[in-house]
Amino acid sequence: MTETYDLIVIGAGMAGVAAANKCAAAGWRVAIVDALPYGGTCALRGCDPKKILRRGAEIIDGARLLRGKGIDDHGLAIDWADLMDHKRGFTDPVPDNLQQQLAGNGADTFHGTATFTAEDRLTVDGTPYAFRHVLVATGARPRPLDVPGAEHLIDSTDFLELPELPDRVVFVGGGFISFEFAHIAARAGSRPVIVDRGDRPLQRFDPDLVDLLVARSAEVGIDTHTDTSVAAIEQSGSGYRVTVDTPAGPDIIDADLVVHGAGRVPQLSPLGLDAAGVAYRERGIGVAGHLQSTTNPRVYAAGDAADTPGMPLTPVAVFEGKVAASNMLKDATTTPDYDGVPTVVFTLPELARVGMLEADANASGVDVDVRYRDTSGWYANYRIGETTAAVKILVDTDTDTIVGAHMLGPEYAEVINFCGLAMKLGLTTRQLKAMTATYPSVASDLGAML
């Protein structure tokens, strides 16, 4: 007899775990399945381990910035193997801890590949199960690249398991992954090259601040090539020859390692969605605003697997997972609130954004006051020796509210949260300026930024 569950969650990342815990705690019979260790990309292969590696880069960068200002950084270096061990001290316990948490709430935990066989049935490695509801939260995978020699590329998961870091690293693509890993690699002694086919990397971020970041990247040895596409990757001895097409013609970049940083796509291929009558497209499963499939009402989707207005961020996936779970439990149609969600590229210094870009704000017809500040000479940055920092805040002059904020500087990933909160709650810049912050903290600069 086929077992039946109230909810089967496919994908044990943060969105899937949040939904499974919520429904299991409410008394539903819940199962969750993943072919990979529980924890998903963020906890095991992305945000969290990457930020641990970045800490090593922060120490190196901080010491270099204060060279000649009281700090002797001679001989200071990252021991890559030790830093990787430190990373594993966090990631290794995650899968077991999550499984214990889920089991404690009453959820059944499966390992294997889930494949739909009908609109209310699926198999896990051949074992059949029936369901009242399914949540697809399978995340994303590296975008396939149609380049000769693409099999030589490693992805971000591989990078985070490197036993040692080679000298010459080429990153294909000019997005989050390439810039964040390149900044870590540069401080660890490598010579990173970023190859981006667009005219400007980090397209989702303010172009003026991106230009500053590219210049700052060059100062630490990161070579960024724009308007440049990879034509082929060939093995050459123990390394690789990367043929690129540039505005000046073909060129060769020699590398010891080539890393895929050219974007990600929803991981839907193993699911057999057609068998369940679930419509999907390039951006993910087609869902209504409340995250229910537009073609199979039993199925919901969240995170990178769903085609929603939300950005591909872990916090967005988590609140989508919780909203989907709540809607299933209550038979409701609540839609997630995407207002005021910030995003950050954790380079050194970090680049942050919330809300509209300047061009989008101008095109929207809003009367925008663009408040640009070069903050490189401000106390918070002078204190640590940083010479590259700036902010651009877009204010609707009719309402005195923030419609967009863009920041490049140390600890600005924290400051941007105030702007996101203001956008979500409709706070005015006058109200933000009235806040008395601890001094001399970086957040105490917010009033002057406005």
Q: Compute the half-sphere exposure of residue 343: CA atoms within 13 Å on the CB side of its CA.
A: 19
Q: Which helix (H) or strand (E) holds 49?
A: helix 47-65
What is the reported pLDDT for 93? 98
Distance from C-alpha of 119 to C-alpha of 275, rounded to nearest angstrom: 7
- Extended strands (E) in 125-183: 127-136, 140-142, 168-172
* Total residues belonging to the chain: 450
What is the reported pLDDT for 162? 97
Q: What is the identity of the amino acid at 394?
A: L
- What residue ranges define each of the domains in the chain, with the CATH number in brackets? 3-47+86-142+265-330 (3.50.50.60), 150-262 (3.50.50.60), 343-449 (3.30.390.30)
Query: In this structure, what token pair is assigned to residue 104?
Result: 């404690």
Say if residues 354 and 341 touch (Cβ distance below 8 Å): yes
What is the reported pLDDT for 299? 98
What is the reported pLDDT for 1? 76
What is the reported pLDDT for 328? 98
Alpha-helix runs per DSSP H in 366-411 = 379-384
Q: How far is CA 425 from the centre of its chain?
A: 24
| CA-based nearest residue to 353, from 188, 210, 156 | 210
Contacts by residues 277-285 (CB-CB < 8 Å, ≥ 24 positions apart):
277/119, 278/116, 278/136, 280/307, 281/307, 283/307, 284/308, 285/136
CA 288, 289, 295 angle in degrees (round to 5)?
Answer: 10
Q: Would you list the DSSP string of 322-359?
A: HHHHHHHHHT-------TT--EEE-SSS-EEEEE--HH
Query: In this structure, what token pair is assigned to residue 417?
Result: 């949260």
Distance from C-alpha of 166 to C-alpha of 168, rounded to nearest angstrom: 6
What is the reported pLDDT for 107? 98
Q: What is the dihedral of CA 296, 300, 306, 311, to 10 degrees?
A: 150
SS3 category, 62: helix
SS3 category, 129: strand
| pLDDT per residue as tens, the chain (450 positions) | 799 999 999 999 999 999 999 999 999 999 999 999 999 999 999 999 999 999 999 999 999 999 999 999 999 999 999 999 999 999 999 999 999 999 999 999 999 999 999 999 999 999 999 999 999 999 999 999 999 999 999 999 999 999 999 999 999 999 999 999 999 999 999 999 999 999 999 999 999 999 999 999 999 999 999 999 999 999 999 999 999 999 999 999 999 999 999 999 999 999 999 999 999 999 999 999 999 999 999 999 999 999 999 999 999 999 999 999 999 999 999 999 999 999 999 999 999 999 999 999 999 999 999 999 999 999 999 999 999 999 999 999 999 999 999 999 999 999 999 999 999 999 999 999 999 999 999 999 999 999
Distance from C-alpha of 246 to C-alpha of 230, rounded to nearest angstrom: 9
Distance from C-alpha of 409 to C-alpha of 154, rounded to nearest angstrom: 30
Q: What is the identity of the amino acid at 169?
A: V
